[in-house]
Structure formats: C-alpha cells, structure tokens
Amino acid sequence: MTRHFPSGPTGSFFGMSLAREFSRDPLGFLTEVSRTYGDLAGLRMGPVKACLCNNPDLIREVLVTRARFFRKEPRTLNALRQIDGEGLVVTEGDFWLRQRRLLQPAFHPRRLGKYAATIVERTTQFLDRWKPGETRNIVDEMTHLTLEIIAKLFYDLELTGQASEMGEAVRTLSEIFAAELSTLIKVPDWVPTRTKRRKRWAIRTLDTLMRNTIRERRASGQDKGDLLSMLLMAVDEEGDGRGMSDQQARDEAITMFNAGHDSSAAGLAWAWHLISTHPEVERRLREEVATVLGDRPATAEDLPKLKYTDCVIRESLRLYPPVWILFVRQTVEDIELGNFQLPKGTWIYILPWVTQRDPRFFPDPLRFDPDRFSEERISSIPQYSWIPFGAGPHICIGQGLALAEMSLIVATTLQRFRLEAVPRTEPVVPEPLLAIRPKGGLMMTIRTKAG
C-alpha cells in the first residue's frame, strides 16, 4: 500500500528548529535521522519538504533508472553558478549532454598513460621539497599537490609558486558555499560583509587565471593535446556541429579546475590519516609498492598491479567520502518512490556519508578494512551502496582519473617517506565543507621510509 509522505522528526517551529540542527551538525543530524526513520526519512524544514534516501535500490531509482524524474535543486546550482557559470556540474538537459560529449574524450582511459606520467613527475618534484623531520599540514600539502597536477594536466600551467593563492581561493569558496547552502536564509550578494568581499576576491582570482590562460592559448594557436586545447578546438559532431565560445571554455575550465582537485585532495588527506593510524595496512602497502615498483617511477601499466593500494583508496573513500552529500535532487512531478507518495518539488538527499557507514551494507562499518574491496569480498557489497562518485548520467566524469591519481600519489610518496601523525589530544573531526576535510588540518611529521 502506498503511504503518504515518509515519516521523520518534527520540529518545534514549523520545522525551523530542524533546520538549525541541520546547520549545527549536518553529519550527525542526517545520520541520526536516517538510522531512526529508515530507507526514506521525511524532513520538513520551514517551507522545504525533503527526504533522506538511504537504500541502494532507491538510490538507483533516483540517480539511474528514473533519473529523468529528478533534477538538481536550483538553489544549490545558482550558488555554484556564481563561479562555474554554465559548466558541466551545474547544467542539465540538452546543454549538459552536449558539454559532457565534448569533454568526455579528455577522460578516455587511453589518455591515462600520459596523465600518469605527469602525475608521477609532479609528485616527485613536489616531494623534493619535503625534508625528513619536518611537520606539515597534510591537508594543505595535498591541496597544493593536486592543484599543481590538475593545472599541468589540463592547462599546461606551472602553478608551483601560485598554488597557495589558488588553494586559498578554492578553500574560501568551498567554505562560503558550504555555509550558504546549509542555511535557508541567504544574505544577498550586495550586502557588504567581509565574507562577500572574500568571496569576490576568490572568484576574481580564479577567473583571472582562467581567462588569461585561454587568451594566451587562443593567441598561440597551439594544440598542446591537453583539456584546454580540447575545449578550444572541440566541435559537437553528434549535435549542432559548433564549438565552444571562450565563455563556455572558461566555465568548463574553472569547473574542472575546482572539481578536479578539491575532492581528490580531501580524499588523499583522509587516506593518509587512516594509513598513519593503521600500521598493518601501512606495512602491506609498503610491501606492495616495493614488489611492484621497487625504486622506479610508477606508470599507468602498474595501476592494475597496485591492487591493495586501490583497496585502501576505495575504503578511505567509503569512510570519508569527500562529496559527503550529492547535489540535492528535486522531484519534477508527483511521484511514487519506495511505497511513498512524494509531491512535486520534494528535495531528495543522497548521502554517501550515511549510506557508506550503514551496517546493513558494510558490516562493522566504522572499521577501516581495505580488504572489503578485495577480489574475494567485493561482490558482497550491494550495488549503489558505495557511491563516492555518484551514479547514473551525472556520475563523476573524473572517477577513473581520480582513482588513478590517488593511487599514484600514495605509491610514489611511500617509495620515499613515511607520514607520522603528530600526537593530538583532540580526535580528528570531519568538517563538511563542499568536500569533507579534517577540521583544522592534519599535522604529520615527514620521516624517511626506514626512519
């Protein structure tokens, strides 16, 4: 029998206290509600009717099989449009499809060989700056490294000196958008607050970099075989036969710049946190790296052999999915989902953080156990319960690249160093910005691999 709206907690003041609880501790609040109310939990927050969707079969319906009945919620998209313009992440429908077709070749597996060489070369140069005995904030380090990599891979840009400023700009935007999206009341952009000034500075910094890079590339007429050349030369042969304007190229370039490093950096920081606190995992990783690579630089051909490294990355992404919440989806008409009736306009939350820590899908869910992803055990993970890259038509275009990049960075680092967590009195707390990061950073001491 189809029931009406799914049940869930009730707030004291037209739901407004729930919104406050949500803003105060999104991860704790959403986990608690999902565990208490089941696969679909209803939430009424002020004027918003929302559902938390925490069941792999329902997730498949929303993201894959019935994706056309759900669209990305406009408020989130509008917030991101201020920086991404009409880039792939914020568009939908025919325009999105055309752009996705134009961008897809940059992510073809056959390009991985070249990308892997650049990733390993950049990582090696980056690690040359580390000295044994130093203490570094590994979150910042991974952000700088992944920024330098994406800038080189996609735009042939040397960011070595500027990575801190770019990192700061991206982090500023991530913080501000996360804050804007977690509150229902938005301060208009014309109100002259310090936050708005920082936001304008950050957008201007990224915008200037991309526009200058595009201008120089157009003027040189060079095909460097990277994403930017591809964007500037791309023609939609299956569609309207036209290419991209400079504005579109700018939007996609900024989109890839942001989407292409922030989540990988957060994922790597969490991986280092887990590796440094699980000596047996670290021992097995070192053994694999020594057997497969010895002291020579890794290549794309090594990736299938770095099996345990891949399991460690996947398990880190399970426990700490950088994209802890997918774009909120909204029903485009009244629909039935999981025996419930959802009116048009209902918000659907899909939360990798919650689903990937659910004991029904991952027994002993808080245990860091990379072997869950081993060949023998992986088939026991229900489909659509491990969703760090989303699923369906909007699945992360950079999934293959990100997994390869993370494995190559971990393996290349372990060939030379050991990262030792600096003892702390407080536990490491996840901070749900656009990507989820360890709050206040993660201090680690660089040791030689033997030391």
Beta carbons of 409 and 401 less than 8 angstroms apart = no
Residue 85, interface with ligand HEM (CB under 6 A)? no
Residue 263, interface with ligand HEM (CB under 6 A)? yes
Which one, 146 or 445, has the nearer CB to ligand HEM?
146
Which one, 169 or 351, has the nearer CB to ligand HEM?
351
Name which of residues 392 to 431 contact ligand HEM (CB under 6 A): 394, 396-398, 401-402
Sole binder of ligand HEM in the list 20, 75, 100, 305 (CB under 6 A): 100
- According to DSSP, the residues that pair with 52 across neighbouring strands are 41, 349
Cα–Cα distances (Å) from 17 to 7, 10, 30, 393, in that order, read: 17, 9, 14, 35
Distance (Å, whole) CA 53 – CA 40: 5
Beta carbons of 386 and 97 less than 8 angstroms apart = no
Least separation, in Å, of the C-beta of 256 and ligand HEM? 5
What type of residue sits at position 68? R
Return the sign of the alpha-carbon dihedral for residues 370, 371, 374, 378.
Answer: negative
Q: Which of 136, 138, 132, 134 is closest to 450 using CA atoms?
A: 132
Name which of residues 199 to 258 contact ligand HEM (CB under 6 A): 255-256
Residue 167, interface with ligand HEM (CB under 6 A)? no
Q: Which two tokens stand for residue 49?
A: 């009717």
Sole binder of ligand HEM in the list 322, 338, 370, 438 (CB under 6 A): 322
Tell me which residue has tokens 């938390």.
52
Which one, 54 or 445, has the nearer CB to ligand HEM?
54
Query: For residue 3, what is the DSSP state?
Result: B
Q: Treating both helix axes as pointing N-terminal to C-terminal, what angle do 194-220 and 246-259 enclose, rounded to 10 degrees?
A: 120
Q: How many residues bind ligand HEM (CB under 6 A)?
A: 23
Distance (Å, whole) CA 222 – CA 16: 56
Which one, 413 or 445, has the nearer CB to ligand HEM?
413
Q: Which two tokens stand for residue 411?
A: 């393996």
Name which of residues 360 to 399 contact ligand HEM (CB under 6 A): 388-390, 394, 396-398
Residue 102, interface with ligand HEM (CB under 6 A)? no
Which one, 114 or 200, has the nearer CB to ligand HEM?
114
Name which of residues 323 to 352 contact ligand HEM (CB under 6 A): 323, 326-327
Least separation, in Å, of the C-beta of 424 and ligand HEM? 25
**By the criterion CB under 6 A, which residues form the site for ligand HEM?**
88-89, 100, 255-256, 259-260, 263-264, 267, 322-323, 326-327, 388-390, 394, 396-398, 401-402
